Amino acid sequence: MENLLEIVNHFAIHGKVKNVSPFGNGHINDSYWVQTLSGAPHYVLQRINHQIFKDVEALQNNIQRVTEHIRGKLAAQNTPDVDRRVLTLVSTLDGKLYHKTPDGNYWRVMLYIADSQSVDAVSPELSYTAGRAFGNFQSMLADVPAPPLVETIPNFHNIEARLATFRESVKANRARRLSKVAYVVDEIEKRAGDMCQAEQLHRQGQLPKRINHCDTKVNNVLFDNDGNVLCVIDLDTVMPGFVVSDFGDFMRTGANHGQEDDENLDNVYFLMDIFEAYTKGYLETAKSFLTPLEIKLLPFGAKLLTYMQTVRFLTDYLDGDIYYKIKHPEHNWQRTQAQFKLLQSIESNYDAMCQYIAKNL
């Protein structure tokens, strides 16, 4: 890999670089924190995983359109500190949104948002704020002018497509791991019909697609030191999708008492107070544009995204770990089991969630 400092120097950054160090814990791209000498802003350098994001040009254009649209809205509302409320892509010296190195890797640079933090566990208060923020995010993106955003990963949150891939992986059994995981394969198949509901409703014209974030993990939200949401990060997958899907991905991560890959399954269970607080905040900012069916299906979104992530981790385990970065050979299996445990806990809380929604409609 090329020298990181040399790569940064292709971009139109201010100040002199002091240090470049690994940053964050994403499963897909590689991120680095670029610290500059005093006075200048700091930056984030990322190597884009172009095995996964095959059209980097389209990816970067999507992000530029989305961030510029949000920036315009924030400026029109006289929002202070706009550079901390939306991501800013930094162009290369020749005006491009990414730099390709001779080894075939693609790189991008963004402004680092100072005095911000991401968290892996939220309190009900933070969850309420995050719910408001995601409702706002979706409503700000409701009027992005044509053409539609590119699907940076086709069929990304389409469970029918995910199940088709999963079934191929089960059949191929490339890593010879099927016998070990067979009981989870059965559990996935038992639920498959129910989980394809959203796609069916969409085909029947009952469930719309809106611009979604499609990776609303709790650690993709930046908070300031007082617990206010600054902005949503990781915009690689912003594309048309079901709003219940963004709702569900936050529930999957923010309302899990344990970790996404918790070794101890006793730690993993669904937190109703986080669900209630997030739903309250989300409906405050999103109710005006949601249909009654979208609101009713929010608890289904929590099930769907947790189910989908179980399917995706297990597919990767069966394929021999070719998609997600892993820390040890059993990592995708550990993730699968933790997601499945969470799914079961969401199922036990499902009626209570539906009742909460019905009460607060």
Chain residues binding Mg ion by CB under 5 A are 215, 234
With beta carbons less than 8 A apart as the criterion, state whether 141 and 211 touch: yes
With contacts defined by CB under 6 A, name the span among 87-95, 119-127, 230-238, 239-247 that binds ligand GN1.
230-238
162 binds ligand GN1 (CB under 6 A): no
261 binds ligand GN1 (CB under 6 A): no
Nearer to ligand GN1, 156 or 269 (CB): 156
How many C-beta atoms surround the C-beta of residue 175 within 10 A?
Answer: 17
With contacts defined by CB under 6 A, name the span among 89-97, 199-207, 231-239, 340-348 that binds ligand GN1.
231-239
With beta carbons less than 8 A apart as the criterion, state whether 22 and 31 touch: yes
Minimum gap (Å) between residue 110 Cβ and ligand GN1: 14
With beta carbons less than 8 A apart as the criterion, state whether 116 and 230 touch: yes
- How far, in Å, CA of 268 to CA of 259, rounded? 7
Task: Select from 8, 28, 286, 290 the one that contacts ligand GN1 (CB under 6 A).
Answer: 28
Print the binding letters for residues 32-51 with ligand GN1: x by CB under 6 A, - otherwise. Answer: --------------------
**Closest-CA residue to 131 (of 347, 357, 340, 311):** 357
Question: What's the Cα-to-Cα distance from 266 to each of 159, 262, 272, 341, rounded to whole Å?
Answer: 28, 9, 17, 9
- How far, in Å, CA of 93 to CA of 344, rounded? 51
Print the binding letters for residues 283-322 with ligand GN1: x by CB under 6 A, - otherwise. Answer: --------------------------x-------------
Task: Select from 237, 332, 336, 339 the one that contacts ligand GN1 (CB under 6 A).
Answer: 237
Residue number closest to ligand GN1, CB atom: 27
246 binds ligand GN1 (CB under 6 A): no
234 binds ligand GN1 (CB under 6 A): yes
- How far, in Å, CA of 58 to CA of 259, rounded? 33
Question: What's the Cα-to-Cα distance from 51 to each of 47, 63, 186, rounded to whole Å?
Answer: 11, 18, 30
- How far, in Å, CA of 169 to CA of 194, rounded? 21
Interface residues toward ligand GN1, by CB under 6 A:
26-28, 52, 215, 217, 220, 234, 236-237, 260, 309
